[in-house]
A and B are shown apart, each in its own frame.
Chain A
Amino acid sequence: MFEYIAKRLLLLVPVLLGVSLVIFLSIRLVPGDPAEALAGEFADEEYIAEIRRIYHLDKPIHIQYIMYMKRALKGDLGRSILSDLPVLKEVTTRFLNTLQLAFWAMLLATILGLLAGVISATRPYSKFDYSCMTGSLLGISMPSFWFGLMLMGFFSVYFKWLPAGGKGTAAHLVMPVLTLGLTGAGIVARMTRSTMLEIISSEYITTARSKGVSDGKVNYLHALKNALLPVITVVGLQSGYLLGGSVITESVFAWPGLGRYIVEAIKLRDYAAVQGSLLFFALTFAMVNMTVDLLYAFLNPRVRYGNSK
């Protein structure tokens, strides 16, 4: 097991290096000169050159990359050109905000999705099943930003119960979490239902039933336990997508997270900020994927003891 974990951790290094290089190069392809943008409309050549020198924008691109990586390893992601604060600090604060949102959304998605999926699967083609599956399909098809805006229209504009945006109290969390979590719940519910149905019709379940094991025990001890494997994968992948989905949800509710930050930074051509936040995203996705794989290996002996691929 330790060997497996070490192997996976080592694999992270080339992936992150590759990602950082791609990010670095693609950011440099963005049209527009950040030094000119920073200097302002009426700056003279000298001032622009000065800025270029301060931010090392005058060096060849591979030197810039090596310098960037050297500093990044020491935890220095540069300064945001616009706010003049260290990027690492800005990105971590915002990242924690995003994480907070994603955590509650994930919790909602998992609990609601699992419940709906299990109940639907144990009563297939019942009224509950149909309404659950219709609901989850609606959840998947509904554009999250529209759903968020509708919530806002009802709860903030019409009833004035909840704050329309920003961060602070628990009330600020309600609508963003619902927006982000319900879509995820739909996906988890559908996945749980289909795997459960597949397992319920398998032979070992029939065996268990014919031995006289009670329905509840069969459903929850035998079937659910085995259905959890693929569901964990979906939940794990979902948490990655939740972080991505946060881009839109955060923009709707003016939530000060990393997703909204990155959109703003791209619009304003803040190199250091975009690079830093993308690296953070990449690291998070890689970690999430790895955790899911490890969890999978931990729960599934076939992966653990078989070929450690």
Chain B
Amino acid sequence: MKKEKKKDQNEETTKEISLWKLSWNQLRKHKVALAGGIFVILFILIAITAPVISPYDPLKTDFQSALKAPSFVHLFGTDHFGRDVFSRIIYGARTSLLIGVFSVAIAAVGGILLGLVSGFFSGWIDSLIMRVMDVMLTFPRILLSILLIAIIGSGMGNIMLAVGLFAIPTYARLVRSMVLALRETEFVESARAVGGSNWRVMFQHIFPGTIGPVVVQSTFLTATSIRVASGLSFLGIGVPAPTPEWGSMLADARSYMAIAPHLLTIPGLSLMIVVLSFNLLGDGLRDALDPRQRK
């Protein structure tokens, strides 16, 4: 991986190239990350086009053909209600993507705001925010999510909230540490000198500097969020029953392990591929957006 990065650096530095173009060039050379990216795009496409590409209704039961092994009729076989597993996997992608995107969005908005305020204003507000974040980080995310779900109940929206809320500290810390560095730079000083208000300096001048690492972090967090959410569904307190979800499909599969192993392997494999792809893409993006890697 390292070897490829050394090549054709000279041309790039002489020409005027935007950060994103440069990063894209960097990412293109990172074959594994690119594969991850392709799988992520594929996953998103499957999730969006679910109603078009799934051969059956994912909720339609057919007890005559329950627990069938994979065949040409049912590509991934059927579950204990005779539902088509292939269609359920496709719709499950949709569930996971929705939860992943929205929970990360909640976490990002909350965390970026708190991080900006914390790093920019310092003082007591900084101490207050960071202590709360520290306490949140003391507990494992899944435990906090379980507790919150116990309070607000399960259901799609609540899962997104429960998964997203506890990822806020990760963003807050990241953004804060970057703001602390950016605050002292000359361009921020000059923005202030020409009379930019606090909020203007914060959002127009400092915030853009944090985007790169935030994008990388979001990629990793999407992977984690999808995994945590499916874990909650596996425990029976996540997405409610008939909705196709990979974690709850695995929970159901437990009872039929001996007679229908495909119910166990397929949803788990799907979950792993998706999580792995996001992680690989994240690794690649981190290297691509890191200016130190280019010198």
Residues of A within 8 A of B (CB): 15, 18-19, 26, 29-31, 125, 137-138, 140-146, 149-150, 152-153, 157-158, 240-241, 243-245, 247-248, 251, 262-263, 266-267, 274, 278, 281-282, 285-286, 289
Q: Which A residues touch B170, using CB under 8 A?
A: none
A262 adjacent to B146 (CB under 8 Å): yes
B141 adjacent to A244 (CB under 8 Å): yes
Other CB < 8 Å A-B pairs besides A31-B153, A145-B231, A149-B257, 12 of them? A30-B150, A125-B1, A143-B231, A143-B272, A149-B254, A240-B138, A241-B140, A243-B140, A244-B143, A247-B143, A248-B235, A281-B139
Provide the bound-state CA to CA distance between A258 and B132, in Å. 25
Provide the bound-state CA to CA distance between A251 and B231, in Å. 11
Across the two chains, which residue of chain A brings its CB closest to B153?
A: A31
Asked if B161 lies at the interface with its beta carbon under 8 angstroms from chain A, I say no
B142 adjacent to A248 (CB under 8 Å): yes
Q: How large is the interface on B (under 10, 10 to 19, 20 to 34, 35 or more residues)?
A: 35 or more
Docked complex: B200-258 residues within 8 A CB-CB of A: 223, 227, 230-231, 234-237, 247, 250, 253-254, 257-258
The A/B interface has a contact count, at CB < 8 Å, of 107
B264 adjacent to A285 (CB under 8 Å): no
A153 adjacent to B264 (CB under 8 Å): yes
Question: Given A157-B258, A251-B235, is A289 in contact with B138 using a C-beta cutoff of 8 Å?
Answer: yes
Can you list the 7 inter-chain pairs with the closest CB atoms, starting with the nearest?
Answer: A244-B140, A146-B268, A141-B276, A266-B150, A141-B275, A157-B257, A29-B151
Q: Which B residues touch A245, using CB under 8 A?
A: 140, 142
A30 adjacent to B151 (CB under 8 Å): yes
Across the two chains, which residue of chain A brings its CB closest to B149?
A: A266
Q: DSSP majority for the B interface?
A: helix
B279 adjacent to A149 (CB under 8 Å): no
Instruction: Give A157 Cβ to nearest chain B Cβ, in Å.
Output: 5
Provide the bound-state CA to CA distance between A31 and B148, in Å. 12
B139 adjacent to A153 (CB under 8 Å): no
Instruction: List 25 interface pairs A-B (beta carbons < 8 Å), by A numbering.
Output: A15-B138, A19-B135, A26-B148, A125-B1, A137-B279, A138-B276, A141-B279, A143-B271, A143-B275, A145-B250, A146-B264, A146-B267, A149-B253, A240-B138, A240-B140, A244-B142, A247-B140, A248-B231, A248-B234, A263-B235, A266-B237, A281-B139, A282-B139, A285-B138, A286-B138
